[in-house]
Structure 1
């Protein structure tokens, strides 16, 4: 019997047909696909209640216009529905730009285990710079340790994808995969500059060095959450290792709470 998967997207551009092909590769799941802003309303009305897992490939709560960005929190109904869902011990997988979603709801960043910022702001009581991005980075992904999400994958694999220099709450998550890449300002571009129309620019942007963690898992109460930074476009959607990770991650979050597992130090 197929399990029920609720997929949320919208709020950030992506190529819909290749992404749908990625979803079609998820055998054994009955997929319901919602796009913001309708997705927020549907979840508030109970769309997530019957799902066995949720896949978030969305970036809600923003408006970009005239070189500026404004943000807002989700509705109280959406917040209540998300909390109710996790309290039912069912989990979620979040991909790529979902790290930036709901910037005005601090609890959301705590649930995910990090936050990507489009403008300078406050995270956990301290002022931080806007986050960084870099498209088409070819890098080596390195598995951190034995875990169901990474079963069947080689210890390292190559891919080309977008990377983020963002706020990652490493002390609160269980590492799954690290990127062999230097996460320093000169290797990324400022998100705030991009919003202002200055794409691929890091002039005057002094973001401190950040985490090379690109996949992790954590618990929300007795529910499981997995974040996968992979997912910028069709090349990544087609990558067999990314597809295996997504299948594993959905199985993992649909099956209850994670137990701590031994990790190994990255080699580079």
Structure 2
């Protein structure tokens, strides 16, 4: 059992729950990071800490959660859950303070009732059609176990330190909303981000897994990694991270560690 690393130079809060995952395999990513102590907190408790006071002991926030949706709703699942004004105010204050954030994989779907959250992460994944930035957008697409090549888009960026220019991945990909006008590209996937290669998230909610019949979605961005400034906070989003195949990928582990170290650095905050 991992010990509590009180003396680690970097203390990180990792928010989880809302989407199934292998907790032990995911936690192993952080146990290998020299000088970084990760405290994993489940939603909805994690939301209570996402404010300047709650995050005061931590140098960075890692999001691997998917809050704000009730998948057990009797109809039209997932029902959308409002985070409440206290969370909204606390999260905005955290961004104003400049706390670094690393968001991973399905966290892009979090808090659909809170548009500022999507803006902070640089995009959003939609389980059902919703208005995004003033326009009605279709539900997003997903595809599991895609074998693709990832290409570094910003080789000089600190998050890309030690990362090969191109590397193989096998992971879930999204056809989702990416705010390309607000983000700086870090990684691209060599894959066709078109409707025919993805499945409808709404169809999955209605019991039709791996289906896109009757679903329409225009081509999307090939970005699978980016950074942006949200308020005063440096934010990195990395789209990979579906399962143990990715958790155990040494390049992915390096990416996550680089992202944490960078968002927690004075240079990133400046």
Shorter-chain TM-score above 0.5: yes
The question of 1:236 aligning with 2:246 is answered yes
Shift of the 76–239 alpha-carbon distance from structure 1 to 2, 3 Å rule, reads same
Alignment of 1:183-198 (within 5 A): 183-198=193-208
Alignment partner of 2:60 out of 32, 53, 63: 53
The question of 1:2 aligning with 2:9 is answered yes
Distance 2:85 2:35 in 1: 33
Hey, which bits of structure 1, 4+ residues long, moved more than 3 A? Answer: 42-46, 256-259
Query: How does the TM-score come out when normalised to structure 1?
Result: 0.92
Equivalent residues, number: 259
SS at match of 2:167: strand
Unaligned runs of 5+ in 1: 260-268
The answer as to whether partners of 2:30 and 2:37 remain within 8 angstroms in 1 is no
Instruction: Give the CA deviation at 1:222.
Output: 2.7
The answer as to whether partners of 2:52 and 2:97 remain within 8 angstroms in 1 is no
SS at match of 2:50: helix
The question of 1:28 aligning with 2:38 is answered no
SS at match of 2:29: helix
Query: Is 165-174 or 81-90 further displaced after alignment?
Result: 81-90
Alignment partner of 2:101 out of 92, 95, 103: 92
SS at match of 1:48: coil
1:17-48 residue CA offsets vs partner (Å, 9 max, x unmatched) = 10111121222112221101222234369322
Alignment partner of 2:183 out of 173, 178, 181: 173
Counterpart of 1:63 in structure 2 is 70
1:68-89 residue CA offsets vs partner (Å, 9 max, x unmatched) = 2101221222222222222222
The answer as to whether partners of 1:223 and 1:257 remain within 8 angstroms in 2 is no
Unaligned runs of 5+ in 2: 1-7
Distance 2:266 2:212 in 1: 42
Query: How does the TM-score come out when normalised to structure 2?
Result: 0.92
Distance 1:45 1:147 in 2: 27
Distance 2:53 2:14 in 1: 14
